[in-house]
Amino acid sequence: MVLPLLILLITQVLLPAFFLLWLWLPRPPDRLGWLMRVFYGASFFAFIAVIGRWDFLSTTLAILLPLAFVACAALSYQRVRDRAWNRSFSTLRAHGFTAAMAVFFLALTARALSGYGYQDSAVELAFPFAAGHYYIGQGGSATAINNHHADQSQRFALDIVALNGFGARADGLMPKGLSDYEIFDHEVKSPCTGVAISIRDGIDDNRIFETNTDQPAGNHVILACGTARILLAHLRKGSIAVAAGSIVSEGDTLGRVGNSGNSTEPHLHMHAYLGGTLDYNAGQGVPMTFDGRFLVRGSTVTVP
């Protein structure tokens, strides 16, 4: 987990700070140099706005950092407004690398944004939690914003966490206590009316940083809702409140969020599939919508 956290700090803290300072130091020699810095910085901020995991730090930063960049760009222009544009060939060539990197980040952003839609018929469901503020850590129809998308049955899977008052998923960057994570022990509600065709309980919750790859879904419930099957996974040991074969109504409590299975920290994994029946890895993944909304990485949901 050290490497992912290091990458997160570099991409969502250090590099944004660099682009903010770069608008000022050193002062651009001409207005074209200033414009290229703004173009490069704006491209990078667009990139991290789409692919960033802001729940690790604070979702407030996802708003404040772009606003800070716009403000700094406007203020920094005052330092070069009286300077020439300097469109000479040598100057344009000197800015070639900056322009290429800006286009590179714009291309990555466009690729990630392609995951904001879907072509398959979606399953309409109720959001599986009661009152609170929630964040989608993994979701969408592209691997750039959903690590599950490469798996046929989990193409549109969601990983859901809860947010505390600071807009973060936990009390700290990577605390070691399960209860330090806002989502831990939250009641999981049935997203539909159907039949609990399979349950699994009795699997220990992992400590932070550890996983159980032998039982990837951990404690879980599989619902049959019409033709779709819905998996809700990584539940807390001993918390499942329904029996296999029982009929459940939308909003019924199924269990509580834990950290069992192939999970490094508390969250709810949820995906819908057709076919496969009890084998949640064998079906064909289908999109899920909640009040008509297709959730992707970075989406927030507030349940009153």
Check residue 94 and give its pLDDT: 76
Task: Retrieve residue 230's tokens.
Answer: 């819905």
Q: Quick one: which H or E segment has residue 86?
A: none
**Which DSSP state fits 188?**
E
- Rounded Cα gap, residues 8 and 12, in angstroms: 6
Long-range contacts of 62-66 (CB under 8 A, 24+ apart): 62/298, 65/16
Crossing angle for the helix pair 31-51 and 15-22, to the nearest 10 degrees: 160
Mean pLDDT score of the chain: 95
Check residue 216 and give its pLDDT: 97
Does the pLDDT value for residue 92 go beyond 70?
A: no
pLDDT, mean of residues 77-94 = 79
Check residue 93 and give its pLDDT: 77
Per-residue model confidence as pLDDT tens digits over 224-283: 999 999 999 999 999 999 999 999 999 999 999 999 999 999 999 999 999 978 899 999
Does the pLDDT value for residue 3 go beyond 80?
A: no
pLDDT band at 90 (very low <50, low <70, confident <90, very high): low
Task: Retrieve residue 41's tokens.
Answer: 């910085």
Does the pLDDT value for residue 86 go beyond 80?
A: no
Check residue 91 and give its pLDDT: 64
Per-residue model confidence as pLDDT tens digits over 141-158: 999 999 999 999 999 999
Check residue 84 and give its pLDDT: 85
DSSP H stretches of helix in 159-208: none
- Rounded Cα gap, residues 53 and 12, in angstroms: 9
pLDDT band at 95 (very low <50, low <70, confident <90, very high): confident
Per-residue model confidence as pLDDT tens digits over 22-39: 998 888 888 999 999 999
pLDDT band at 85 (very low <50, low <70, confident <90, very high): confident
For residue 236, give the nearest of 163, 178, 281 by alpha carbon.
178
Residue with tokens 């994570």: 181
